[in-house]
């Protein structure tokens, strides 16, 4: 479960595609960042003559990350949700940087990868602010 980030936290997104040298743009109204777990797969290399399973380390999985944002009331054609959905559907390789206030390290948390899901806000009989969640598959390569 992700916790709310401290006030003053910021996030930016930058396209990493070959030939794009654009600047990072702000991701506004960051509410929380879910933890990402790096895992290592094991490959089964058991031979028919073996009496026990034989496994060796194989690939690393950088994991997934979930970022939750407060929904802003801006023009649908140009708002952050639409921009993130466009990056998802086009398979754009991006970098997200998260900075926490009080940190002396710029870009304290950096995630390279692809957006795999942009959730719609849940709307119900509540006085809670509307939020949406973006799921990010971490990857070091395009």
Query: Is residue 114 very low, low, confident or very high in pLDDT (cuts 50, 70, 90)?
Result: very high
Residue 97: name the closest of 109, 79, 84, 112 by CA. Answer: 109
Measured between alpha carbons, how far is 85 from 72 in angstroms, rounded to an integer? 15
How do 25-27 and 30-33 pair as beta strands?
unpaired
The domains located in the chain, with CATH, are 10-138 (4.10.410)
Surface-to-core class of residue 94, CB atoms within 10 Å of its CB (0-12 exposed, 13-18 middle, 19+ buried)? buried
Measured between alpha carbons, how far is 72 from 55 in angstroms, rounded to an integer? 49
How does pLDDT run across 37-76, given as a tens digit for each residue? 788 889 999 999 999 999 999 988 888 888 998 887 666 6
């Amino acid at each position: 479960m992700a916790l709310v980030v401290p006030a003053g936290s910021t996030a930016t997104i930058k396209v990493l595609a070959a030939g794009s040298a654009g600047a990072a743009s702000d991701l506004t109204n960051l509410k929380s960042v879910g933890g990402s777990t790096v895992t290592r797969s094991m490959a089964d290399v058991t031979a028919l003559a073996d009496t026990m399973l034989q496994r060796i380390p194989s690939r690393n999985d950088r994991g997934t990350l979930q970022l939750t944002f407060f929904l802003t009331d801006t023009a649908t054609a140009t708002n952050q949700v639409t921009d993130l959905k466009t990056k998802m559907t086009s398979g754009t390789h991006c970098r997200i940087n998260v900075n926490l206030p009080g940190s002396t390290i710029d870009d304290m948390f950096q995630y390279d990868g692809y957006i795999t899901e942009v959730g719609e806000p849940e709307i119900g009989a509540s006085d809670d602010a509307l939020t949406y969640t973006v799921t990010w598959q971490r990857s070091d390569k395009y």
